[in-house]
Amino acid sequence: MAREMMYGEAIAAAIAEEMERDSNVVFYGQNLAMTERDPFLRRFGKKRVRIAPISETAEMGVAVGAAITGLRPIVELWMSEFMLVAFDELINEAPRLRYMSGGQVKVPLVFKAGYGFAAGWAGQHSNCVYHAMMGIPGLKIALPSTAADAKGLMAAAIRDDNPVVYLHHYMLTLDKGPVPEGEHLVPFGVADVKREGSDVTIVATGWMVKKSLAAAELLAKEGISAEVVDPRTLTPLDVGTILKSVKKTGRLVLVDQGTRHASAAAIIAAEIAEHRGNALKAPVKMVTALDTSIPFSEPLENYVLPNEEKIVAAVKSVLAQQLAAV
Amino acid sequence: MAKKKGLTADRLIWMYTQMVRIREFESRVKRTFVEHPGVIRGHTHLGDGAEATIVGALATRQDDDLAMPSYRCHGYPLVLGTPPRKMMAEIYGRKDGLCGGFGGSMHLADPEHHFPGTSGIIGQAITHATGAALTAQVKDTGQVIYCFFGDGATKQGAFFESLNLGAVWKLPIVYILENNYYQAYTHVSLEDANYIAGDPLSKKAQAFSIPGVTVDGTDPLKVYATVQKAVERARSEKGPSLIEAKFHRLSAHGNAITVPPVPTQFPEHEAVEVYGKKAEFAAAIKNDPIPKFRASLLRKRILTKEDAQRIEEKARAEMEDAVQFALASPLPAEAEAVKHVYA
C-alpha cells in the first residue's frame, strides 16, 4: 500500500517508524523538540528526542561517541554547510574509528541535513558540498530525489552500521509522491532508472533528477529518448547501473548542482571513462553550476545553476558528436 | 597522604602496582626506539608522570564505567585489564596487536575492557566521551565516563562545546584535565588565559556553572578523593565536573619527528630541549609520583621493601614478556588493509 506524501513528511515518517522499531535510535539537533508539543518528543520522550546547543562539533562528536557505545543517533543539522563547522568529526572521526580499531567498534549514525536551497539563501546556505564527502572510506552518502526514496533511504541509513550523511534537497521538501506504508527500505548502492530511454543517459541526483526528467519530457517532444538514472547514494556508488545504461545509449550527460570540479559528476565521469570499453559514441558532457559562489539575487542565481534548457542543450550537443572508435 | 576512607591496604597496593606497571610499560616503549630502531613507526606519546592521576582516578571506577582519553593513551587500558602483550604488539604494528596493526600507539581501542577508543586529533575525543555518557544516560546503565585530556585540548572548541552540552544534559561524565604544562611543545603560559591571569585551569568550569577543582596530580590519593566526589555527582544524575590534575609528564611530547630512513628517539623534555629550564625539569623528576607513593606506603607500613621490589620485578617481567611477544608477532598480511572500512 502506498500513500501520497510530501518528501519532507516521508523523511519524518521513516525516522518515527525506526524509532518505534529500535529503542537505541535517538534524535537530536538544534531547534528541535523545543516545546512539549513536539510530536517526536510526545511519542518518544525527552531521553531520546532532544534539543541540542548550537555546537556542531559537539553534536556530531557526541553522536560518534554514542554510536561506538551502542546508540544509533540521528543528528538534525539542518543545512549541509553547517557540517563544515565540524569537518573533523565528519571526515576524520566518524568514518575512521572503526578502521583504526581494527574492526572492534562500529559507528552507526546519521548526519541529516538539507542542501542546495536555491531560493535566495545566497553564498553560504545553498551550496552542494557532498563531493567533499565522497571517497572518504567508511562514510556513506544518500541523496534522495523522490518522497519514496526519501523514506526508504532514511530507514536504511538508520539501520546501517556505518556513518551515513543523509542529504535531503530543500527544493523537493513539498513535492508529493507515492510512498509505501510501513517498512520500506531502499538499499544503498542501487541506482534507480527514473525514466527509460534509448538515445542518451542522463545521470542526476536530488533536485537535478526533477530537472532532468523535465528536460527529458521536452526532448521527447523532439523525438529524443533520454534515460534518467539516479544513483541515490554517492557512496556506495552504483557504477554498474550507470554503465549498463551508457552501453545501451552510448551517450552520457551528467547533471550536478555542484560546481564543476566539486561535483559528483566529475567522479562519475571518471568512472565511466575508465570502464566504458567501446560504449561511448560521443564525449561525456557535464552540466554543473558555474564556478561561482551562489549569488543572492534571483536572475544571478538562475544563471549559475543547471536548468532544463542547459540539460536539453547538453543532450543535443552529445547527440551531434561522434567519438572516434577506440 | 592520609589513608582515605574506602581504600584498603590491598587497594593501595593495587594502586601502586598499576602505577609501576604503567611506568614500566612506557619505559619499554621508549627503550624500543633505542634497542630496536625502526620497530615503532610514526608518533608515540608516553604517559610517564601521569600515573598518579590515571590510577587515582580509575581506582574510583565501578563495574562498567568507561575510560576515554586522548591519543596519549597507553596507561589507561593497562589499568582496565588490557593485556600489555596486545598493546605492545599494536604499538609495533604487528598482527597480534590490539587493533591488528590498524591503529598504532595513538589509537588503542579495547571495548571489551571498557576502553572504546581514542582520537589523534586534540580535543575531539572529549566529544566522543560526552557521547558515551549520552549512551549511559539514555540506556540508564548507571555508568560514569572518565574523560581524560591535556591542557592543550582546553583551547579547542570541542572542549567548550562538550562541557556546555554535558552540563545542559546533566550527563554522567567526569572531565579530567591533565595539566602537564606543555601542549606538545608550547608552554601553558603562552596559550592559556587562566594561567596567564594566575588562575587555575579548573576555573574554566565556571563558564558552565559546574564544579571545577584543581588537585595535585602527583598524589594518587588526592586524585582519588577529588575524582570520587565528581563520580558521585555524575552517578547521582547531577552532571559533570571538571578536575584539573597538575603534574609534569616526564618524557618529551613524543619521539622526534624524522623522515625515514632517519632514525627517531625521544628527545629531552621540552622544558630542557626548547625552553632551557633545567631546574624546572629537575624539580619534576624529584616530584616523580611513583617514588613518592612508594615512600609513603613504606612509611605507613602498608608496603614492605620486599613487597615493593616484588611488584617492580613482576612488572619488569610482565613488560619484558610483552616486548618479546610483540617482537615475535608477525607483521599483518598486506591485503588485510582493505578490511574494516565498513561494518
Q: In what order do the strands lie in the sheet with A285-289?
A: A192-195, A226-230, A200-203, A252-259, A285-289
> Percent of chain A at pLDDT above 90?
95
Where do the structural domains in chain B lie, given as residue ranges? 9-251+267-323
pLDDT tens, B18-29?
Answer: 999 999 999 999
Q: Do A192-319 and A2-180 have the same topology in CATH?
A: yes
Taking CB atoms and an 8 Å limit, are A66 and B119 in contact across chains?
no
Where do the structural domains in chain A lie, given as residue ranges? 2-180, 192-319
Who wins on pLDDT, B89 or B63?
A: B89
Q: Is A54 on the interface with B (CB under 8 A)?
A: no
pLDDT at B1 over 50: no
**Which residues of chain A have a CB within 8 Å of the CB of B93?**
none
Minimal CA separation from B289 to chain A, in Å: 31
Burial class (CB in 10 A: 0-12, 13-18, 19+), B327: middle
Taking CB atoms and an 8 Å limit, are A93 and B119 in contact across chains?
yes
| Residue of chain A whose Cα is closest to the Cα of B126 | A61
Q: Is B338 on the interface with A (CB under 8 A)?
A: no
Report the mean per-residue pLDDT for chain A. Answer: 96
Q: What's the whole-number mean pLDDT along residues A205-214?
A: 98
Tell me the pairing of strands A200-203 and A226-230: parallel
pLDDT at B3 over 60: no
pLDDT tens, B32-81?
Answer: 999 999 999 999 999 999 999 999 999 999 999 999 999 999 999 999 99
Minimal CA separation from B306 to chain A, in Å: 40
**Which residues of chain B have a CB within 8 Å of the CB of A99?**
102, 340-341
**What's the pLDDT band for A277 if we cut at 50, 70, 90?**
low
Q: Is B137 on the interface with A (CB under 8 A)?
A: yes
pLDDT tens, A78-107?
Answer: 999 999 999 999 999 999 999 999 999 999
Least confident span in A166-175, A267-276, B25-34, B246-255 = A267-276
**Which residues of chain B have a CB within 8 Å of the CB of A71?**
134-135, 138-139
Architecture of domain A192-319: 3-Layer(aba) Sandwich (3.40)
pLDDT tens, B276-331?
Answer: 999 999 999 999 999 999 999 999 999 999 999 999 999 999 999 999 999 999 99
| Residue of chain A whose Cα is closest to the Cα of B164 | A53
Contacts of B25 (CB under 8 A, 6+ apart): B74, B75, B78, B84, B87, B88, B319, B322
Residue B33's φ and ψ, nearest 5 degrees, are -60, -30
**Which residues of chain A have a CB within 8 Å of the CB of B142?**
none
- The partner residue sitting opposite B131, judged by closest CB among A62, A92, A140, is A62
Q: Is A171 on the interface with B (CB under 8 A)?
A: no
Taking CB atoms and an 8 Å limit, are B134 and A71 in contact across chains?
yes
Q: From CA B18, how far away is CA A21, in angstroms rounded?
A: 44
The pTM assigned to this predicted structure is 0.97
Q: Is A100 on the interface with B (CB under 8 A)?
A: yes
Q: Is B95 on the interface with A (CB under 8 A)?
A: no
Q: Is A52 on the interface with B (CB under 8 A)?
A: yes
A125 catalytic per annotation: yes
Q: Is B6 on the interface with A (CB under 8 A)?
A: no
HSE-up of residue B71 (Cα within 13 Å, Cβ side) = 25
Q: What's the whole-number mean pLDDT along residues B192-214?
A: 98
**Which residues of chain B have a CB within 8 Å of the CB of A62?**
127-128, 130-131, 134, 162, 165
Q: From CA B189, how far away is CA A201, in angstroms rounded?
A: 62
> Which amino acid is residue A112, in one-letter code?
K
Q: From CA A246, how far away is CA A266, in angstroms rounded?
A: 16
Q: From CA A29, how far away is CA A10, in angstroms rounded?
A: 19
Q: What's the whole-number mean pLDDT along residues A118-124?
A: 95
- The partner residue sitting opposite A88, judged by closest CB among B124, B130, B341, is B124
Q: Is A290 on the interface with B (CB under 8 A)?
A: no
**What's the pLDDT band for A121 if we cut at 50, 70, 90?**
very high
Contacts of B276 (CB under 8 A, 6+ apart): none
Residue B61's φ and ψ, nearest 5 degrees, are -60, 150
Q: Is B169 on the interface with A (CB under 8 A)?
A: yes
| Residue of chain A whose Cα is closest to the Cα of B336 | A102
| Residue of chain A whose Cα is closest to the Cα of B68 | A65
Taking CB atoms and an 8 Å limit, are A71 and B68 in contact across chains?
no
CATH of domain A2-180: 3.40.50.970
> Percent of chain B at pLDDT above 70?
99
pLDDT at position B5 = 60
Taking CB atoms and an 8 Å limit, are B97 and A89 in contact across chains?
no
pLDDT tens, A32-56?
Answer: 999 999 999 999 999 999 999 999 9
**Which residues of chain B have a CB within 8 Å of the CB of A233?**
none
Minimal CA separation from A86 to chain B, in Å: 9
- CA angle in degrees (0–180, nearest 5) for B149-B155-B160: 80
| Residue of chain B whose Cα is closest to the Cα of A93 | B119
**What's the pLDDT band for A275 if we cut at 50, 70, 90?**
confident
Taking CB atoms and an 8 Å limit, are A55 and B165 in contact across chains?
yes
Q: Is A248 on the interface with B (CB under 8 A)?
A: no
> Percent of chain A at pLDDT above 70?
98
Q: Which CATH superfamily hosts domain B9-251+267-323?
A: Thiamin diphosphate (ThDP)-binding fold, Pyr/PP domains (3.40.50.970)
| Residue of chain B whose Cα is closest to the Cα of A90 | B124
The number of beta carbons lying within 10 Å of the beta carbon of residue B41 is 13
Who wins on pLDDT, B58 or B3?
A: B58
Minimal CA separation from A270 to chain B, in Å: 22
Contacts of A306 (CB under 8 A, 6+ apart): A208, A211, A255, A256, A257, A287, A288, A289
pLDDT at A326 over 50: no
Say how many CB pairs under 8 Å bridge A and B: 156
pLDDT at position B70 = 96
pLDDT at position B2 = 43
| Residue of chain B whose Cα is closest to the Cα of A163 | B342
